[in-house]
């Protein structure tokens, strides 16, 4: 019978994770752009906050901070010295206990010699190396001391070495270790000299696979691993007190000398430091905690702390947040685990898909939205507007009659006398068949009530000028976002429902300017004083004059009366309160619209009495109308008015 064992998923991306959605990325960028962020800031902050229920860079930074705090409180770095002293004390105590009942002079001589054993571990080991222990327990404790010291010295440098190969208790094992280190240094020195050592590395892995069964795939990764451990060891030594540092260095030197590896280890340290000078090879690290850490654990903690510091520096760097390729994925994996790597890769994939699928394009180092992205953002804005409109108030956006431009809508209705719509033959015959069955008639014939016709709609062409107040007061009154959302929604509606329409969006502050659709999401309010409605109406008039045969529509969104105008030389003139010249020139442009037979729809934001009086006068003068719109319903008003204007002419 087959048996299966189930456990947690590992070694690969989560197969149940949500797929990467570039469209969702565009929607999120669009939301941030409409909130007033620049495209660069929106792109950067989207990755900072995360997307699709995945951790963002801010979450990674927070986890790195938390992990750093945990490591800093994980224990003391003098753990090896503490453990070695305890083993030395045990050995000396056990030996003295064995000598005490012995009345011989030899026993007294041995006791006197034990009294001269120095406190420093290294010198104590050196002095006792050839001592003839009388107590088996004492000899065992001393052997444990030497074994622990040798094992930790190797472990702190070669963390992936198998434990069996760290037992340096036979001449054969010491010879194998020395040969491995000689081969390692020879390979590294060849690499240092600029020669290709990739084949040497493959041969090294095969020859010394008992030492490194899980060696990294490439020589560069192997060097990184060794250098990271060596640098962490040096920082650990720097973090000890001078007395502890000297004692540990002496003990390690004694252990390496006993294994015959002192020269090779020094050679290795020099090679690694030369090949990876960018690693942090000095500096103190404060750690606390009740638990004494052994040499490998302390070194590993410091190596991980170095990764965390590097990650935190990268995550707090604005360039790295804007370009995720600058974040070290390997360091993220070592310090934060596989899930963090998956989140980082998902963000990179979104970044790649946004460009590959044509939503973003780069102009040098500058990001730009493509027309495809603007259409997507506009459709989202339009859905938001329509979702807040009552279904019954939306109306049908077209004139339902036949004509040369009539288009079938997909709906049918019974034929009426005088209809010119095309007959739906299939439904007409089906109605006749159903009538025959119901009446049990022997023959099939057509009667007037059987006929059904296709509903059609006439697509008329319009020229629409949308004028949006871009003055900074729109930001202060929290209506700038609504204005941009509305403009994007109107652009999306015109493209999708009225593709023959010409839409011109004009923003105005101290001067007016035509805004291209792809510029809308990234458009910012102006910090320069002035509400130059005069200039905006001039530009709108020029646009409408190019479209004589179209239905012409002008809509103005503003929260303040005119305070600026353009003089004959093209310069902006600002005045507060509004000057008579500014008002007169603005009214003249309104009168020109009236002579063009173009009524203006005014969307008044805010409760400024002066603006209310001015717009009421303009509406009476022009034959247009004024709508008092709240910021959160601005899109509803403008889109509805556009549909109304399109359908009523």
Residue of 291 and 556 predicted with greater confidence: 556
pLDDT band at 228 (very low <50, low <70, confident <90, very high): confident
pLDDT at 394 over 50: no
Question: At 35, phi and psi to the nearest 5?
Answer: -80, -5
Mean pLDDT of 416-440: 78
User: Is residue 454 over pLDDT 70?
Assistant: yes
Report the half-sphere exposure of 360 (CA within 13 A, side-chain side): 23
Which pLDDT value is given to residue 225? 84
The confidence score (pLDDT) of residue 63 equals 83
Between strands 502-508 and 462-469, the pairing is parallel
Tell the burial category of 302 from Cβ atoms under 10 Å away from its Cβ (0-12, 13-18, 19+). Answer: buried
Using CA atoms, how far residue 572 sits from 121, 221, 469, 527, 533, in Å, is 85, 63, 16, 14, 11
What's the average model confidence in pLDDT over 18-24?
A: 59
Q: Give the model's pLDDT for residue 400.
A: 37
Structure-block tokens of residue 331? 């360091």
Six token digits for residue 589: 């442009």
Percent of the chain with pLDDT over 90: 0
Q: Please, which pLDDT band fits residue 390 given cuts at 50, 70 and 90? A: very low
pLDDT, position 404: 33
What does the pLDDT look like over 108-125, one tens digit per residue?
888 888 888 887 777 887
* pLDDT above 80 (res 314): no
What confidence tens digit (pLDDT) does each residue in 461-477 have? Answer: 778 888 888 887 777 76
Pick from 145-154, 311-320, 426-435, 545-554: least confident = 311-320
| CATH code matching the domain that covers 462-647, chosen among 3.40.50.300, 3.40.50.410, 3.90.1150.10, 3.90.1530.10 | 3.40.50.410
Strands (E), 480-616: 502-508, 512-515, 551-558, 564-566, 572-574, 600-604
Is-contact 599 625, C-beta < 8 A?
yes
Q: Specify the pLDDT at position 408.
A: 58
**Coil, helix or strand at residue 408:** strand
Interatomic CA distance for residues 142 and 84, integer angstroms: 9
More confident residue, 535 or 167: 535
Q: Average pLDDT in the 583-610 region?
A: 82
pLDDT (0 to 100) of residue 407: 54
Quote the pLDDT of residue 403: 36
Answer yes or no: pTM beyond 0.85.
no
- The backbone torsions φ and ψ at residue 125, rounded to the nearest 5 degrees and listed phi first, read -65, -40
Q: What is the mean pLDDT of residues 222-233?
A: 84
User: For the chain, what are the domain ranges?
Assistant: 24-74+307-369, 79-286, 406-458, 462-647
* Span 52-56, average pLDDT: 74
**Residue 157: which region, alpha, beta or left (left: phi > 0; alpha: psi -120 to 50)?**
alpha
Answer whether 298's CB lies under 8 Å from 305's CB: no
Task: Indicate if the pLDDT at residue 138 is higher than 80.
Answer: yes
Tens-place pLDDT, residues 540-571: 888 888 887 777 888 888 877 888 888 888 78
How would residue 523 be classed by pLDDT, with cut points 50, 70 and 90? confident
Chain centroid to Cα 49, Å, comes to: 7
Residue 68 predicted with pLDDT over 70? yes
Nearest to 135, CA basis, from 100, 105, 170, 103: 100
SS3 527: coil
Average pLDDT over residues 273-282: 82
Report how far residue 569's alpha carbon sits from residue 582's, in angstroms, rounded to the nearest whole number: 15
Tokens 């953002």 -> residue:
377
Decide if pLDDT at 396 tops 50: no
Lowest pLDDT segment from 29-43, 134-148, 208-222, 394-408 = 394-408
* Residues forming beta bridges with residue 412, ordered by sequence position: 454
Q: CA 305, 311, 314, 317 torsion: positive or negative?
A: negative
Q: What number is the average pLDDT over the span 398-426?
A: 62
Helices (H), 401-509: 425-439, 473-476, 480-497
Separation between Cα atoms, residue 613 and residue 561, nearest integer Å: 9
From 71-75, 143-147, 638-642, the region with the lowest mean pLDDT: 638-642
Q: 242-259 and 219-239 helices cross at what angle (nearest 10)?
A: 140
Q: Does residue 402 register a pLDDT over 60?
A: no
CB within 8 A of 55, min separation 6: which ones? 63, 339, 340, 343
pLDDT at position 210 over 60: yes
- Helix/strand/coil for 13: coil
User: In this structure, what are the phi and psi dihedrals at residue 42, rounded to the nearest 5 degrees?
Assistant: -65, -45
pLDDT at 165: 52
- Residue 431 above 50 pLDDT? yes
């Amino acid at each position: 019978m087959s048996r299966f064992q189930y456990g947690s998923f590992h070694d690969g991306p989560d197969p149940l994770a949500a797929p990467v959605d570039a469209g969702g990325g565009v929607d999120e960028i669009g939301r941030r752009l409409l909130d007033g962020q620049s495209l660069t800031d929106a792109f950067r902050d989207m990755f900072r906050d995360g997307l699709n229920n995945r951790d963002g860079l801010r979450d990674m930074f927070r986890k790195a901070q938390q992990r750093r705090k945990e490591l800093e409180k994980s224990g003391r770095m003098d753990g090896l010295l503490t453990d070695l002293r305890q083993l030395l004390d045990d050995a000396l105590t056990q030996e003295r206990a064995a000598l005490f009942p012995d009345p011989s002079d030899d026993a007294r001589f041995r006791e006197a010699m034990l009294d001269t054993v120095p406190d420093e571990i290294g010198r104590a080991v050196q002095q006792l190396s050839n001592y003839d222990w009388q107590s088996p327990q004492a000899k065992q404790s001393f052997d444990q001391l030497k074994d622990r010291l040798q094992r930790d010295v190797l472990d702190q440098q070669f963390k992936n070495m198998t434990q069996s190969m760290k037992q340096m208790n036979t001449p054969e094992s010491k010879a194998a270790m020395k040969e491995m280190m000689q081969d390692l240094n020879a390979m590294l020195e060849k690499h240092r000299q600029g020669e290709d050592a990739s084949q040497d590395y493959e041969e090294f892995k095969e020859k010394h696979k008992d030492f490194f069964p899980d060696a990294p795939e490439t020589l560069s990764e192997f060097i990184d691993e060794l250098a990271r451990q060596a640098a962490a060891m040096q920082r650990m030594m720097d973090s000890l007190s001078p007395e502890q540092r000297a004692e540990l260095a002496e003990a390690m030197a004694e252990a390496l000398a006993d294994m015959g590896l002192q020269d090779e280890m020094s050679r290795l340290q020099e090679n690694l430091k030369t090949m990876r000078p960018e690693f942090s090879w000095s500096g103190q690290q404060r750690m606390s905690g009740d638990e004494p850490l052994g040499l490998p654990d302390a070194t590993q903690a410091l190596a991980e702390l170095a990764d965390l510091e590097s990650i935190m520096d990268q995550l707090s760097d604005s360039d790295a947040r804007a370009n995720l390729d600058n974040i070290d994925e390997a360091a993220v994996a070592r310090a934060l685990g596989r899930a963090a790597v998956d989140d980082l890769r998902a963000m990179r994939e979104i970044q790649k898909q946004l460009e590959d699928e044509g939503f973003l394009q780069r102009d040098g180092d500058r990001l730009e939205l493509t027309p495809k992205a603007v259409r997507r953002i506009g459709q989202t804005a339009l859905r938001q507007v329509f979702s807040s409109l009552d279904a019954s108030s939306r109306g049908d956006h077209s004139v339902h009659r036949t004509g040369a431009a009539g288009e079938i809508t997909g709906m049918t209705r019974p034929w009426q006398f005088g209809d010119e719509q095309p007959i739906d033959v299939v439904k007409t015959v089906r109605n006749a068949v159903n009538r025959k069955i119901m009446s049990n008639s022997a023959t099939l014939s057509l009667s007037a009530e059987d006929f059904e016709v296709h509903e059609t709609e006439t697509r008329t062409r319009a020229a629409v000028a949308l004028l949006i107040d871009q003055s900074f007061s729109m930001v202060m009154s929290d209506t700038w976002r609504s204005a941009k959302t509305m403009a994007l929604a109107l652009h999306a509606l015109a493209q999708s429902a009225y593709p023959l329409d010409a839409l011109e969006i004009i923003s105005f502050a101290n001067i007016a300017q035509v805004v291209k659709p792809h510029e809308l999401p990234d458009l910012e309010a102006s910090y320069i004083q002035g509400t130059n409605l005069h200039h905006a109406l001039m530009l709108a008039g020029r646009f409408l004059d190019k479209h004589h045969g179209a239905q012409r529509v002008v809509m103005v969104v503003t929260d303040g009366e005119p305070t600026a105008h353009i003089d004959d030389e093209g310069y902006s003139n600002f005045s507060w309160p509004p000057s008579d010249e500014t008002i007169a020139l603005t009214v003249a442009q309104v009168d020109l619209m009236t002579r063009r037979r173009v009524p203006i729809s005014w969307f008044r934001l805010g409760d400024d009495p002066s603006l209310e009086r001015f717009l009421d006068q303009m509406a009476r003068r022009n034959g247009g109308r004024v709508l008092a719109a709240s910021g959160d319903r601005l899109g509803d008003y403008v889109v509805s008015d556009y549909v109304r204007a399109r359908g009523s002419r």
